[in-house]
Amino acid sequence: MTTFDPAASLPEQPAAVRQPSLRVVAPRQGVDLAAAEQAVADLLVALGKDPNSEHLSDTPRRVAQSFAELLTPREFDLTTFPNDEGYDELVLAKGIPVQSLCEHHLLPFHGIAHVGYLPGKRILGLSKLARVVELFARDLQVQERLTQQVANGLLEHLAPKGVGVVIEAEHLCMSLRGVRATGSRTVTSALHGVLREDARSRQEFFALAGVA
């Protein structure tokens, strides 16, 4: 499971000048590429295919690489800045692309996230909202947990007055198989602080995010 690792943050500095920038790392067990390749070759055999055929001979390597890429988040610095002007309105990043893998079927789900917060003493570099989404999305996931992890991560490391996260995604396990509900989107949300407790703030967040 991904966590923000404060131990891996900046070198020791006196508290007064310490910049609250956290190196965000994913202390997950890495992907064993060789084992994954072998497993994909075994899967092809189990599916009645010949992994030695010309078309499939390189497939195990490609599939293993693809999974490694989809399950390995990029590290980044979660840089925050002092909220010197005392900005106290909603900051919202809309339409952040989300790609993840459903842990029940190992099939992709993809869509968009809207991530907003009401600043406290610190504000965040705007691109970081998308990076936080990606950090948690590159994992075997369920949409509900992904939504909560993004909200909790921001809550923990930005200490805003409120956080709201909405994710709308299409799950290929629903659209390609099973009920074949092509085009149907699943919407999840996680709200904390003022955005959870105050009805007007909550409505403003959903209205700006374009979620009825």
Catalytic residue chosen out of the listed positions 38, 69, 75, 104? 104
Question: Which residues bind to Zn ion, rule: CB under 5 A?
Answer: 102, 104-105, 173
Catalytic residue chosen out of the listed positions 37, 114, 149, 171? 171
Q: Is 56 left (phi over 0), alpha (psi -120 to 50) or beta?
A: alpha
For the bound state, the minimum distance from the C-beta of residue 166 to Zn ion, rounded and expressed in Å, comes to 20
144 given a catalytic annotation: no
Q: Which of 102, 154 has the CB closer to Zn ion?
A: 102
Question: What burial class does residue 106 get, using C-beta atoms within 10 Å of its C-beta: 0-12 exposed, 13-18 middle, 19+ buried?
Answer: exposed
| Angstrom distances, CA of residue 211 to CA of 4, 97, 116, 153, 179 | 29, 16, 13, 22, 25
- In angstroms, rounded to a whole number, what is the distance separating the alpha carbons of residues 186 and 167? 8
Cβ neighbors of 38 (< 8 A, separation 6 or more) are 60
Catalytic residue chosen out of the listed positions 69, 103, 144, 156? 103
Residue by residue, DSSP assigns 189-200 as EEEEEHHHH-HH
Q: Which of 92, 140 has the CB closer to Zn ion?
A: 140
Q: Which residues pair with 101 in a beta bridge?
A: 108, 140
105 given a catalytic annotation: yes
171 given a catalytic annotation: yes
For the bound state, the minimum distance from the C-beta of residue 143 to Zn ion, rounded and expressed in Å, comes to 9
141 given a catalytic annotation: no
For the bound state, the minimum distance from the C-beta of residue 136 to Zn ion, rounded and expressed in Å, comes to 17
- In angstroms, rounded to a whole number, what is the distance separating the alpha carbons of residues 23 and 74? 11
38 given a catalytic annotation: no
103 given a catalytic annotation: yes
65 given a catalytic annotation: no
Q: Which of 102, 124 has the CB closer to Zn ion?
A: 102
Catalytic residue chosen out of the listed positions 105, 110, 148, 170? 105
For the bound state, the minimum distance from the C-beta of residue 104 to Zn ion, rounded and expressed in Å, comes to 4
Would you please indicate which residues are annotated as catalytic (active-site) residues? 102-105, 143, 171, 173
